[in-house]
Copies of this chain bind each other. A is one copy, B any other.
Amino acid sequence: MSTKSSPRAPQRSRTASLNRRERAIDHRAAGSAAAPTFKPIHTRRTFEEICERIREQLALGVLKPGDKLPAERELAQQLGVSRNVLREALRSLEMAGVLRLQKGVKGGAFIQQGDTRRMNEVMRDMLSLGTISVRELSEARVHVLDLVVQLACANARRADLDALEANIERTELATREGRLLDRVECSREFYKLLAASTGNKVIAMIVDSVTEIHMRFVYAKVASSGVAMARLAEKRRQFLAALSERNVALASRLLRSHLESVQRMLEQDPGAMSLHVALADVQPGLRR
């Protein structure tokens, strides 16, 4: 530190440590015994190298949430790369939810607590790119929610049930006051709470990611047509009762039947339900 070495001095051998690594050969043999393939390589770029090194420090536990990386100018010098390319790496990590960059003195790159919403983005991109279909997503959601009900019945704690109860009350209020879009937000929250009540963050993350997309469709439908699921809060109450009694079979049946009726609602007038409408963002509450 402090040895800043007079500014403007272009010391550092142009292409330094990180660049120009020899190209490794891909030796994956795996399944089909022998048959060495010689393809990938892909000329490791320096920003990839940087990302990987930082992720490595993370995996090794050297870097932990809350830690701060050196300032951009300093870190760039340490790594022997230009500040610009370092920033590309930091940007990527920031988008990945690993870092957060903060301006000002005392600012810097801080390791974040993991943001589970990242999986939502993955799902959204996969859908945008046509890698997965809406049908697959809906189907997966039904199955995963079925699993969630089982786990929630087994593991839901009192606090979880209370949170669901409170959510239902908000749903009733929104219904009475005719705030249909708020009611959709309540639904989104309902599934989030339900997922959380499984006590497993991995499951919760998965459920959230498929539900987030689904709710965009519901939102778009409600916003455009003004239709609304009848007796929503009532159905929720019945479901919560079954959950509280740890009645897996009943809870499962109730939820499944509800999901089916929502699906029917969405599938009326299918023309309006284009992917684009639902994904093309800018809907309150659904923004990150």
Copies in the complex: 2
Q: Does A121 contact B (CB under 8 A)?
A: yes
Complex formed: what's the CA distance from A122 to B93 in Å?
A: 11
Q: Write the nearest CB–CB distance from A174 to chain B, whole angstroms.
A: 7
Within 8 A of B (CB), among A113-135: 113-116, 118-119, 121-126, 128-133
Closest partner residue, chain B, to A131 (CB atom): B114
The answer to whether A116 touches B131, judged by C-beta atoms less than 8 angstroms apart, is yes
Closest partner residue, chain B, to A203 (CB atom): B140
Complex formed: what's the CA distance from A28 to B186 in Å?
A: 12
The answer to whether A200 touches B139, judged by C-beta atoms less than 8 angstroms apart, is yes
Stretch touching chain B among A223-231, A245-253, A276-284: A276-284
The answer to whether A201 touches B131, judged by C-beta atoms less than 8 angstroms apart, is yes
Q: Write the nearest CB–CB distance from A72 to chain B, whole angstroms.
A: 12
Stretch touching chain B among A3-11, A14-22, A56-64: A56-64
Within 8 A of B (CB), among A232-288: 275-276, 279-281, 284-285
Complex formed: what's the CA distance from A117 to B211 in Å?
A: 20
Q: Does A29 contact B (CB under 8 A)?
A: yes
Closest partner residue, chain B, to A27 (CB atom): B284
Q: Point out which of A114, A179, A203, A279 has the most chain B C-beta atoms below 10 A from its C-beta.
A: A114
Complex formed: what's the CA distance from A206 to B206 in Å?
A: 8
Main secondary structure, interface of A, reads helix
Complex formed: what's the CA distance from A51 to B92 in Å?
A: 11
The answer to whether A56 touches B281, judged by C-beta atoms less than 8 angstroms apart, is yes
The answer to whether A56 touches B174, judged by C-beta atoms less than 8 angstroms apart, is no
Complex formed: what's the CA distance from A27 to B181 in Å?
A: 13
Which residue of B114, B133, B151 contacts A143 across the interface (Cβ within 8 Å)? B151
Within 8 A of B (CB), among A130-153: 130-133, 136-137, 139-140, 143-144, 146-147, 150-151
Q: Does A95 contact B (CB under 8 A)?
A: yes
The answer to whether B32 touches A170, judged by C-beta atoms less than 8 angstroms apart, is yes
Q: Write the nearest CB–CB distance from A208 to chain B, whole angstroms.
A: 12
Q: Point out which of A51, A55, A124, A170 has the most chain B C-beta atoms below 10 A from its C-beta.
A: A55
Complex formed: what's the CA distance from A173 to B33 in Å?
A: 8
Within 8 A of B (CB), among A95-113: 95-98, 111-113
- Can you report 19 residue pairs joining A to B where beta carbons are below 8 Å apart? A31-B182, A33-B174, A33-B179, A59-B124, A59-B275, A61-B275, A65-B130, A91-B92, A92-B95, A114-B130, A114-B131, A118-B125, A126-B201, A131-B201, A132-B202, A140-B202, A140-B203, A140-B206, A206-B206
Shortest 3 CB-CB distances between A and B: which pairs? A114-B131, A59-B279, A140-B202
Given contacts A133-B201, A139-B202, 4 further A-B contacts (CB under 8 A): A29-B182, A114-B126, A114-B129, A136-B203
